[in-house]
Amino acid sequence: MTTRVQEHEDAMSAATTPTASTPSGAGVLKPAQLLASLPEAFRKLDPRVMVTSPVMFVVWIGSVLTTVFSFKDPGDWFGWTISAWLWLTVLFANLAEAVAEGRGKAQADTLRKAKTDTVARRVDGGTVPGTALRVGDLVVCEAGDVIPGDGDVVEGVASVDESAITGESAPVIRESGGDRSAVTGGTKVLSDRIVVRITTEPGKTFIDRMISLVEGAARQKTPNEIALNILLASLTVVFLLACATLPSFADYAGARLTLVVLVALLVCLIPTTIGALLSAIGIAGMDRLVQRNVLAMSGRAVEAAGDVSTLLLDKTGTITLGNRQAAAFVPVRGTTEAEVADAAQLSSLADETPEGRSVVVLAKERYGLRERHRGELAGAEWISFTAQTRMSGVDVDGRRIRKGAAGSVTAWVRERGGEVAEDTERLADGIAEAGGTPLLVAVEDADGARILGVVHLKDVVKHGMRERFEELRRMGIKTVMITGDNPLTAKAIADEAGVDDFLAEATPEDKMALIKREQAGGKLVAMTGDGTNDAPALAQADVGVAMNTGTSAAKEAGNMVDLDSNPTKLIEIVEIGKQLLITRGALTTFSIANDVAKYFAIIPALFAAVHPGLDKLNIMRLSSPDSAILSAVIFNALIIMVLVPLALRGVRYRPMSADRMLRRNLAVYGLGGLVAPFVGIKLIDLLLSLIPGIG
């Protein structure tokens, strides 16, 4: 058992290693990626695919029209050039989406390799193909076997290699009767024997869902994305109407606008930049989560993470290290520390938890008590800890020794006619107020039942948590610590960690009530969980992150699954969600500012010949109307490819208030969107002026 526990601790240590906020090369476009995604970009030219993006569908229609008119006048080099760059605009937009999807497909290919046609051995001795298993079937898995389907361990304990889905080489422990009972089809048993109850139908396993999600096949547009698409479509209609009125004005002024010029003008004025990148931004947001081993069941969950107002965090393993350690033996009046240490060590010999082992070690190191073993105590009767009694202990040599929660041990002493020392409550409260957990140690012998003292268990707050919570506070997010500890202990830990609030002695009903109260106030709530009792709260939360090591019920209830089972990753998930929203907002700002600048760049050059007064607005001094239009169309296509790496990587997120963030985006992306077209179009115009017949 010690070996298995150590393996589990090693696995959890590896899983909780912090990841970088932005994977290296996340936004770098490599030539190999572009070439691999090019066929898919051409396939997306299908009008049935293009119609899902209203802005780019308009560009696609414009490309078809200019191409048709170019065929009518084969010698019109201007028409052919405009057509070519319009098709490139559509292709670049498709390429941005294809590159984003390509990363997911690469991950999906890796997952497919984990899917093998396994033979399942039923408990009754029969063997069937893994694809023939149904919900409720019981199968046996031993060392070397590949688990044939998703399920829960109902018998035994085993070390399991889950590297196929988590990427972590360290094995994990899966056992029956706890919150670490869920197993995934395609993972491999490394040691021992377990019996698994199948919980999913073939083709609907966790790996099947992962493949579908990371490929993007199951991705649906989020509410914000749909709303933005409606806005972009509305702007497109407005500019379409504006361009439709230009020929009459041009005829009145004595100028002539061809259909090719009108289409080029329309494409330059509608928000093509954000229309081309919108889908890639959403896909890349989910991809950034996958890179951190978090599987989002929907884009809506990623988006909701960016709008979260309240964060519910478990204390143990998230805010604190989780393994409470014995720090001191505190005797009551009339008892010595050595007596408390001796009794506490005896009562902990059968306790295999980290807390129990730490009691044995502390008694040995601090008081010289040698580490005894259960086998040395002949005739001893060991009392195991249960959730009902909340005590453990041993009956040996005419003594009954108990160790456990203050209320349970106090009641045990009084049931046997003993008296509780006056300073017991004071000592226990003092430990709780200091952020520790008090465990009372009691004995019943010839002198009667009595309290010997208190074991002080300390739960250490993780390094840097206060700073992270301060960042969340600057983001406007309220943090609430959830714990089963008493209110005094909870308050001390909350104060040390720097959370905004805490919920002590929390039950599943308490968690649900808290989430509903926050949501009733118009807030979005995120929480983590791994147990069946967390499932209702995970389902109620706007962002429910289930641990992969948890139960199937928890994973079904949540809308995200953390494959590393690292509860602190919820903070990173919120940051990724905010980065997605900021990226979308920043590039939308850039795109609209871009269109305004292109309007002032093209229109004056286009009509300066018939309205000389407009020449004053031609501040870039573009060489000719043809050059102005062609330069704008080329810039419009190239800017999409320039911004693809930013869309994939995401705008760098910094914790700050919403108004500061808005001012920053307007200053950087709004001003940048206004300036970039003037600079870019002028440079392209200078190059075109060198070509005979254009300048």
- Binding residues for Mg(2+) are 530, 534
Q: What residues contact 306, with CB distance under 8 A and at least 6 apart?
A: 574, 576, 577, 578, 579, 580, 581, 582
Q: Annotated catalytic sites, by residue?
A: 314
Q: How far apart are CA 42 and CA 182, in angstroms?
A: 42
Q: How far apart are CA 8 and CA 3, in angstroms?
A: 9
Q: Which residues are annotated as a binding site?
A: 351, 355, 385-392, 403, 530, 534
Q: How far apart are CA 391 and CA 415, in angstroms?
A: 14
Q: How far apart are CA 258 and CA 239, in angstroms?
A: 17
Task: Specify the residue for token string 């081309």.
Answer: 276
- CA-to-CA dists, residue 298 to 63, 99, 295, 380, 530, angstroms: 34, 20, 9, 55, 19
Helix (H, G, I), strand (E, B) or coil at 316: strand
Please, what is the end-to-end C-alpha distance for the chain in angstroms?
Answer: 82
Taking only Cα atoms into account, the Rg of the chain, rounded to an integer number of angstroms, comes to 33
Q: What residues contact 230, with CB distance under 8 A and at least 6 apart?
A: none
The closest of 510, 524, 509, 526 to 567, measured between CA atoms, is 526
Q: How far apart are CA 252 and CA 248, in angstroms?
A: 6
Q: Which residues are annotated as a binding site for ATP?
A: 351, 355, 385-392, 403
- Paired tokens of 550: 């948890």
- Paired tokens of 637: 């296509």
DSSP labels, 202-254: TT-SHHHHHHHHHHTTT----HHHHHHHHHHHHHHHHHHHHHHHHHHHHHHHT
How far is CA 418 from its chain centroid? 53
Helix axes 424-433, 487-497, angle to 10 degrees: 30
